[in-house]
Amino acid sequence: MKFRMGVGLSPPGRVGPQWSLEGRGIPGPQGLAHSVSVSHLLRPGCSQGVCSKQMLVVPLHYNESYSQPVYKPYLTVCNGRRICSTYRTTYRVAWREVRREVPQTHVVCCQGWKKRHPGALTCDEAICAKPCLNRGVCVRPEQCECAPGWGGKHCHVDVDECRTGVTLCSHHCINTAGSFTCRCPRGLVLGPDGRTCTEGTLEPPTGASVLSVAVREAEHERVLRREIRELRARLERLEHWAGQAGAWVRAVLPMPPEELQPEKVAELWGRSDRIESLSDQVLLLEERLGACELL
């Protein structure tokens, strides 16, 4: 199987290489298959969830374009009105075959660990078959670290703080989901700490305090409405841009995007890279032509 893709960066003096990966084995860039050979295997260990690191040598075989000088002889009049033979130098786009090997590091994760992304060199994300609930975090394979107020293997059990043997409230402790609350008997009020009951009566809310709460709630609602309008406007712009991009892709491609195969995508990519290479060569020749006209 053979694929071709365009490479964005080129060495100095080269126009954009066209390369292909041949063979089969470990999946390569953009899902292409290529053969590899293991040149070095590190001593197995479980550092950061990594059991082994392999240094893979990936053989690359590609054709690259470059500027080839062409010397064209011609006759001219020299000093003394003699006929002299000289030459001028022009350039053309030529292709050459390149074979080289690229080293790559391949990481194998220990059981119960995984990479945060496919190209990562560490396996620092633990795997829990069942998710950790109620804001719990999977910190080790099949082990959850629960938020305060929750317990159990998957943080699904509500801890009854009122039955832990620790005095949390001065009078009545009421268990709630993930927490607790304190209540006072008739004639006592809950203090500022939310746990201690003191003598006194609740002060009825004044008109000023009620008005202050109403003003704050109205301001909060106004801010929320403005944020909703801004988000809707951004969503409409994104949908508009997505529609334009889809129309542009359908206009450029020779077939609907859903019918494109990987081989066709690679071929179209290669065509665009060759067009860009030729355009760079034309620009180079135009610059040289302008320099000649100034002489």
Residues 9 and 100 in one domain: yes
What band does 139 get if pLDDT is binned at 50, 70 and 90? very high
Mean pLDDT of 269-280: 59
Predicted local confidence at residue 133, as pLDDT: 92
How far does Cα 223 stand from its chain's mean position? 32
Q: CA angle at residue 269 from 263 to 271, to 5 degrees?
A: 105
What is the per-residue pLDDT for 162?
A: 87
Within a domain: 67: yes
In this structure, are 99 and 169 located in the same domain?
no
pLDDT above 90 (res 144): yes
pLDDT over 70, % of the chain: 61
pLDDT digits (tens, 9 = 90+) for 86-103: 888 899 999 999 998 888
Is the residue at 235 inside a domain?
no
Q: Kindly state whether residue 89 falls inside one of the protein's structural domains.
A: yes
Identify whether 168 is part of a domain: yes
Q: Is the pLDDT of residue 239 over 70?
A: yes
| Length of the chain measured in residues | 295
Element (H, E) at 174: strand 172-176
- Residue 184 domain-assigned? yes
Pick the residue with more confidence: 258 or 169?
169
Last-in-domain residue among 171, 201, 231: 201
Task: Say yes or no: 9 and 95 in one domain.
Answer: yes
Indicate whether 82 belongs to any domain: yes
| Residue reference for tokens 């490479």 | 7
Domain co-membership, 164 together with 102: no
Does 158 score more than 80 pLDDT?
yes
The pLDDT value recorded for residue 6 is 35
Higher pLDDT, 289 or 12: 289
Residue 188 has pLDDT above 60, yes or no: yes
Cβ neighbors of 135 (< 8 A, separation 6 or more) are 147, 150, 155
**Which CATH number is 188's domain given?**
2.10.25.10
Domain total of the chain: 2
When mean pLDDT is compared across 99-108, 181-190, 247-256, the lowest value belongs to 247-256
What is the b/e burial string over 93-103, where b = at least 16 CB atoms within 10 angstroms of the residue's CB? beeeeeeeeee
Is the four-CA dihedral 15, 16, 18, 24 of positive or negative sign? Answer: positive
The reported pLDDT for the residue numbered 25 is: 38
In this structure, the answer to whether residues 178 and 102 fall within a common structural domain is no
Residues contacting residue 113 through CB under 8 Å, at least 6 positions apart: 49, 50, 123, 124, 125, 126, 127, 141
User: Range with the lowest mean pLDDT among 95-109, 169-183, 242-256, 261-275?
Assistant: 261-275
All residues at 6 or more sequence positions from 168 whose CB lies less than 8 Å from its CB, including other chains: 161, 162, 180, 182, 195
Residue 92: give the domain boundaries.
Answer: 5-42+53-107
| Whether pTM exceeds 0.85 | no
Does residue 125 form part of some domain? no
Does residue 70 have a pLDDT over 60?
A: yes
Q: How much is the average pLDDT of 57-85? A: 85
Indicate whether 195 and 103 sit together in one domain.
no
pLDDT at position 113 is 92
Do 162 and 151 meet the contact criterion of CB atoms below 8 Å apart?
no
pLDDT tens-digit map of 48-64: 688 888 888 888 888 98
Whether 269 contacts 5, CB under 8 Å: yes
Mean pLDDT of 34-45: 39
Residue 128 domain flag? no
Confidence band of 191 (pLDDT split at 50, 70, 90): confident
Question: Last residue of some domain: 173, 201, 229?
Answer: 201
**CA 50 – CA 111 distance, rounded (Å):** 9
In the structure, what pLDDT confidence band is assigned to residue 8 with cuts at 50, 70 and 90? Answer: very low
Average pLDDT over residues 99-128: 88
pLDDT at 65: 92
Confidence category of residue 250, pLDDT binned at 50, 70, 90:
low
Judge if 76 and 164 occupy the same domain.
no
**Residue 94: beta bridge partners?**
66
Query: Residue 230: how many CA atoms within 13 Å on its side-chain side?
Result: 6
